[in-house]
Structure 1
Amino acid sequence: MTIKVLVAYATKNWSTAEIARTITEVLRNEGLEPEMRLVSEVGDVQAYDAVVLGSPLYAGRWHKDARRFVRRSAQPLAKRPVWLFSSGPLDASAGERDIPPVPAVRRALIRLDAKGHITFGGCLREGAKGRVARMILKSGKGGDYRDFGQIAAWAQRIGATLLGQVAVGPGER
């Protein structure tokens, strides 16, 4: 039996899309059938057996498209395994310790009975959109803090869990 997994994401400057792409590739290598989509392009989640949903953090909040997706799809999402991820800290903190979800994501975890959440390091490069992003870059605080090994390991745990091969990892249930 093929397990179809939606890897849905919101993004502004495409760095969260690169995280979603890594998750998609790992899940495919694990033997699942993932489909990567912008949350704004997802219609009905009924066709999927599981969902991985991610968003960048802006001023301590998920991207508005991700928040809308959770509100719009809460009932069908709550009927399948869901994992959430955030990307955001522009420092090494996400690789050093477990960063708890921001309040709205914590509420989504409960509302969706999600299996887990993780915060990955963020990425802000020259040419990023938005006044605040430009100010951060001008102050010299941009950079790429994503750990693709950490991202791949998290996705492998999801794949193994969906295939019934292992227990869940830290921050998951």
Structure 2
Amino acid sequence: MESNNTRIAVLYATAQGSCRDIAEFIAAHLIARGARVELAEVEHAPELELFDAVVFGSAVHDRALLPEADAYLRTHRDALTSRPVWLFSVGIGPSLRGPIGRRLARIVPPDVAEIREMISPRAYRAFAGYCSRADLPVPSRVVYRLIGGARYGDLRDWDQIRDWTDNLADELGLPSTDSEKAPQS
């Protein structure tokens, strides 16, 4: 695959914006690595036949992908299994701490596991999102704290997201950026 001609669709389903922000970050990083990228919400997704690879992300609520993400993945299963796909999800799971939280964070939700089995992505990664205290009802805040939710706010680990994106860019044979070529001091 010619790196400067690699066309990648970065598609996402978001509820509160965290997944969109991560998808935008991934798209910008892939563009910096030399790919031609189209970023779109699943409702406005382009024809997959135009792309060499797909990066797909969805928010996870109640341990399930958003309904529009699930429907898109099932509807486009054949097109997705015929090209390299990277899958990511965004939720609170990866941000959980403590013995219970770390154990829960390692569990892939059954809905996500089923989708992974169905489309066989090259890689799957769960990222932490943004967790607003004001958006959670009191009982949910209590549960969040009990299962290891240590804080609220922006819980995204941008270095982790960049590393994951670099791995997929390397797998696609995209050239390194100048900052990646620079020796570390």
- 1:14 corresponds in structure 2 to 17
- Kindly indicate whether the alpha-carbon contact (under 8 Å) linking 2:60 and 2:90 is maintained by their aligned counterparts in 1: yes
- 1:169 corresponds in structure 2 to none
Alpha-carbon distance in 2 for matches of 1:122, 1:78: 27
- Kindly indicate whether the alpha-carbon contact (under 8 Å) linking 2:6 and 2:36 is maintained by their aligned counterparts in 1: yes
- 1:41 corresponds in structure 2 to 44
Question: How many residue pairs end up in the alignment?
Answer: 160
Q: Quick one: structure 1 residues 118 and 86, their matched pair in 2 at CA, closer, same or farther if it must change by over 3 Å?
A: same
- 1:135 corresponds in structure 2 to 137
Equivalent residues in 2 for 1:27-66, closer than 5 Å: 27-66=30-69
Equivalent residues in 2 for 1:7-156, closer than 5 Å: 7-89=10-92, 92-93=95-96, 99-125=106-132, 133-135=135-137, 139=141, 142-156=152-166
Alpha-carbon distance in 2 for matches of 1:156, 1:29: 11
Q: Quick one: structure 1 residues 71 and 28, their matched pair in 2 at CA, closer, same or farther if it must change by over 3 Å?
A: same
**Paired residue secondary structure (2:137):** helix
Q: Quick one: structure 1 residues 100 and 45, their matched pair in 2 at CA, closer, same or farther if it must change by over 3 Å?
A: farther
Q: Quick one: structure 1 residues 91 and 82, their matched pair in 2 at CA, closer, same or farther if it must change by over 3 Å?
A: closer
- The Cα shift of 1:44 comes to 2.1
> Can you list the C-alpha shifts for 1:107-144, whole angstroms capped at 9, x where unaligned?
221211211100001213377xxxxx441699486422
Alpha-carbon distance in 2 for matches of 1:137, 1:33: 45
Alpha-carbon distance in 1 for matches of 2:79, 2:72: 11
- 2:149 corresponds in structure 1 to none
Q: Which amino acid aligns with 2:160?
A: Q
Alpha-carbon distance in 2 for matches of 1:152, 1:69: 25
Q: Quick one: structure 1 residues 72 and 146, their matched pair in 2 at CA, closer, same or farther if it must change by over 3 Å?
A: same
In structure 2, stretches of 5+ residues that fail to align are 145-151, 176-185
Q: Quick one: structure 1 residues 156 and 14, their matched pair in 2 at CA, closer, same or farther if it must change by over 3 Å?
A: same
Q: TM-score, with normalisation over the residues of structure 2?
A: 0.76
Instruction: Please tell me whether Structure 1 or Structure 2 has the larger radius of gyration of its CA atoms.
Output: 2
**Paired residue secondary structure (1:80):** coil
- 2:172 corresponds in structure 1 to 162
Alpha-carbon distance in 2 for matches of 1:81, 1:14: 25
